[in-house]
Chain A
Amino acid sequence: DTEVTQTPKHLVMGMTNKKSLKCEQHMGHRAMYWYKQKAKKPPELMFVYSYEKLSINESVPSRFSPECPNSSLLNLHLHALQPEDSALYLCASSQDLGLITDTQYFGPGTRLTVL
């Protein structure tokens, strides 16, 4: 089973709202990721968690706040977003960053629209 689940599938929010995206995997993977993808562009890495600790933050604005409550869950808290933040937000997981054979599996994404 290589399933990563994400909720919600779609989200519309105003610029003053606070919302959260959720991601879950039960493959025993120890690395989890958030990506942002705009139309006709490849995914852009935002954050990487390894063993529940933030390992990489790709200079993401503080209006995006990741959280990893446990090894199976990854959240992305959103606050005071801008319309240009509208995109597909993808979660991914992989077994272990240290493995050469480490492979990422993506969730179906949350399509976010900021009004």
Chain B
Amino acid sequence: RKEVEQDPGPFNVPEGATVAFNCTYSNSASQSFFWYRQDCRKEPKLLMSVYSSGNEDGRFTAQLNRASQYISLLIRDSKLSDSATYLCVVRYSGGSNYKLTFGKGTLLTVNP
């Protein structure tokens, strides 16, 4: 099983649609979870951090299920500007160990 696995995509949705991305992780000791968005030829930008069961910010909702080792990102009422690659990132830190693992990303295109 890969350390962080995301929906392979790509996703093509019309404006106004609701879209959900899924991500699973293999290290049960993982502590923090993030969704970043990355536009073409730009840097990753933090979208949401998830430490407990979930987080909501406007049209974006992230949920964490530690028992199933699963994180999701829901985008409601999608806009053209939501078109980007969405990266699921999982962080583990313990003692002198540190690991931040990126999923391969899921490309979203929102169409007019």
Q: How many A-B residue pairs have CB under 8 A?
A: 45
Choice from A48, A55, A56, A106 contacting B45 with Cβ under 8 Å: A106
Given contacts A42-B104, A103-B34, contact A108 B87 (CB under 8 A): no
Given contacts A42-B102, A42-B103, contact A100 B43 (CB under 8 A): no
Given contacts A42-B105, A100-B31, A102-B93, contact A48 B98 (CB under 8 A): yes
Instruction: State which residues 20-49 of A face B: CB under 8 Å.
Output: 41-43, 45, 48
Contacts of A104 in B (CB 8 A): 46, 100
Contacts of B93 in A (CB 8 A): 97-98, 100, 102
CB of B23 to closest CB in A, whole Å: 12
Asked whether B72 is an interface residue with its Cβ less than 8 Å from the other chain, the reply is no
Asked whether A109 is an interface residue with its Cβ less than 8 Å from the other chain, the reply is yes
Instruction: Find out whether the CB atom of B102 lies under 8 angstroms from the CB atom of A43.
Output: yes
Instruction: Find out whether the CB atom of A102 lies under 8 angstroms from the CB atom of B32.
Output: yes
Complex Cα distance, B87 from A90, in Å, reads: 15
Contacts of A111 in B (CB 8 A): 41
Contacts of B31 in A (CB 8 A): 100
Q: Mark A80-115, 1 if CB is under 8 A from B, else 0.
A: 000000001010000001101111111111010000
Instruction: Find out whether the CB atom of B46 lies under 8 angstroms from the CB atom of A43.
Output: no
Contacts from A to B (Cβ < 8 Å): 2, 41-43, 45, 48, 55-56, 88, 90, 97-98, 100-109, 111
A/B interface sample: 23 pairs, CB < 8 A: A41-B104, A42-B87, A42-B102, A42-B103, A42-B104, A43-B102, A48-B98, A55-B98, A90-B43, A90-B44, A100-B31, A100-B32, A101-B51, A102-B32, A102-B91, A102-B93, A103-B34, A103-B46, A105-B46, A106-B43, A106-B45, A107-B43, A108-B43
